[in-house]
Chains A and B, each alone.
Chain A
Amino acid sequence: MQSALEYIRQRDAPQTGNQILSRPGRLALVAGLLVLAAVGPVIQSVQPFWLNLLIRMLTFALLALSLDFIFGYAGLLSFGHAAMYGTGGYAAALLITDVTASALVVLPIAILTGVVTAAVIGWLSVRARGIYFAMLTLAFAQMLYVVAFTDLPATIVAAETVTGGDNGLYGIQLYELFGIDFRDRLNYYYLTLGIVALSLAGLVRLANSPFGRVLQGIRENEERVEFVGYDVQRYKVIAFSISGGFAGLAGGLYVPFQSAANPGLLHWTVSGELVVMVLLGGMGTFWGPMLGAGLVVLLEDRLGGVASWEIILGGLFVAVVIFAPRGLAGVIVSFRNDPRAAVGQARRAIENYVETVRG
């Protein structure tokens, strides 16, 4: 039986070579971010609600980015990313309610919470590999979900409530930062966009650093990296913690925006959906999963009124796996490289499909 990691090694080596993003790719991303920044005021004047949707899409893009760093790039399938997202979110909620609403204090602590959660989970899990690692991370995340849902901390410290049980914490105020009024959605949009852009830049830089090369090496061939003398487990824990920090940041951004933190943030369906977003977008490319996340959030929202939206979304997932095995990123890259060949490839893919089904 071949392991997932071997498959990745053989079949899914990133198209971009060792660099996580080529120079044109980076330029395209910067251009994309500038466009997003420019359209803000336009959307504000035409249909302000779309800003809410964009903020959610960006938040999930950040989450998908954090997962892609550890999953697509370093090869560790985390099925418990909701743990860091949720603890970061709860930390923000508790701080804003009881201590301060200053973004300069709360956001770094949300990141730190994510890092610490991930460090503990990572330290306990990295010896297991592949699906076993995935299931361990899932186990810890689900345990945190139960802890939040039953408000176990309140029982332990004999307080009336800490996590608010199944209703969660609500009425969370927005951030304070340099006197900016975040009740204006455009301002919150720019805050989110700025943080997402910085996170992306930071992770790309990290991925292309010597540290990133070691992670990539671990994904390609763990034994060899170990043989060369690197402490593979330690690298994995550190990478997982970094990823967790970004997930915590996403939680810290999302909770005040929603004005609520509830156990649903920690539920396995969040982690599961994230994995789906990353795979849909095309793992290991950073921008692909962000696109995938944005698309899933957008579709869930827009199709929400359509009774059969689950059928449509599910059908999309199935179609992408069968006809676009590298996800959306793969489709976009092959179209950019050679549009005509891409059409030919698509036709061949369908022919191949029909042939294999016939047997």
Chain B
Amino acid sequence: MVETILRATLLGLQLGVTLALIAAGLTLIFGMLDVINFAHGALYMLGAYFGAVIAAELGSFWLALVLAPLFVGVVGAAIEVLSLRPLYGRNPLYHILLTFGFAIMIQGTVLQVWGGQARRIARPDLLTGSVAIGSLNYPLYRLFVLVVGTILIVAIWLAIERSNFGILMRASAHDTEMVNALGIDVSKVFTGVFVFGAVLAGLAGVLLAVSRSVNPGMGMGIIIEAFVIVVIGGLGSFRGAVYTALLIGLVTSYGALIAPTLTELFLFGLMAVVLMIKPNGFFGTTEAA
């Protein structure tokens, strides 16, 4: 029994940090750019595919972990510069159509290039095997994901709170004209934020591609879950996204213990209840679009 609960808790936390990586980008992009990014799931999928290709070609998981998110960042930069930049200030609802278009384009391209067969990144030798935690043997790679994910989340948190770019970011979101007046090119800040979100999604893609199958449907599969997290946490709130991601991770893993088929029902039920009590989510400050 203790073992079961321990396993579920570890799993929940591991799911939580990976979801947080995806949701963090989504919420930052929304908070700063006012863009509902439906292509975020597709960027996560691209991370997994780039990772799988790099790992297979160069034979190194570690290179894949570093390079694949950067390539996703490049794709993100292209999307931002070529399509979002000309559209800022326009009705944000149209970003749904735009990013939905990108999502299916990326999915179609992946299918054309790599086919529909499920792939996976081979586990690095260093992280093979398992660790005994009490009576539970827990796979080492999963602990690695949990630890790396946690470190990244904390680092991003500090970066947003403390670094110059973080301050600039928050200032740009708060008062675009003011920052512009200071002679800083806000459009570059926006591009930076979008690329940052894309890199995080790509990173989550590579991390998960070792323990999950990589397939063209994975992007559309995760996007709604990510939106649920962002909305419950409060649109634009990084803190909200992280807390909610952990909560959802735990709900998913404990839910599987109690009533597996109804887990998704719990998830959406939870969102409905939260929004009915707090119409702007847990940490939503503004009455966002």
Contact = CB atoms under 8 A, between A and B. Distances in A.
The answer to whether A and B touch in the complex, with CB atoms under 8 Å apart, is yes
B173 A1 contact: yes
A318 B91 contact: no
Majority secondary structure, A binding face:
helix
The 8 closest A-B pairs by CB, nearest first: A310-B108, A317-B101, A314-B105, A4-B289, A356-B86, A314-B104, A139-B268, A318-B101
Given A127-B276, A314-B108, A359-B187, A7 B100 contact: no
A86 to B, nearest CB: 15
A313 interface: yes
A82 interface: no
Interface in A148-207: 150, 152
21 contacts: A3-B287, A7-B91, A7-B93, A125-B275, A127-B279, A128-B275, A128-B279, A132-B231, A132-B281, A136-B276, A138-B227, A139-B228, A142-B224, A147-B265, A269-B220, A307-B112, A311-B104, A311-B109, A314-B106, A318-B83, A325-B90
A279 B229 CA distance: 25
Contact of B92 (A7, A129, A356): A7
Interface in B84-141: 85-87, 90-98, 100-109, 111-112
Contact of A353 (B86, B90, B288): B86
Contact of A320 (B97, B173, B286, B288): B97
Contacts of A118: none
Interface in B220-250: 220, 224, 227-228, 231, 235-236
Interface residues of B, number: 59
Given A4-B93, A136-B272, A321 B231 contact: no
Contact of A150 (B87, B104, B262): B262
A279 B276 contact: no
A315 interface: yes
A273 to B, nearest CB: 9
- Between A132, A275, A283, A322, the greatest number of chain B beta carbons within 10 A of the residue's beta carbon is seen for A132
Nearest to B85: A356
- Between A124, A139, A152, A315, the greatest number of chain B beta carbons within 10 A of the residue's beta carbon is seen for A139
Contact of B235 (A2, A131, A138, A311): A131
Contacts of A143: 265, 268-269, 272
A129 B279 contact: yes
A135 interface: yes
A131 B94 contact: no
Given A128-B280, A143-B268, 4 more contacts: A310-B111, A314-B105, A321-B95, A325-B90
B85 A313 contact: no
Contacts of B83: 318, 321-322
A77 B95 CA distance: 14
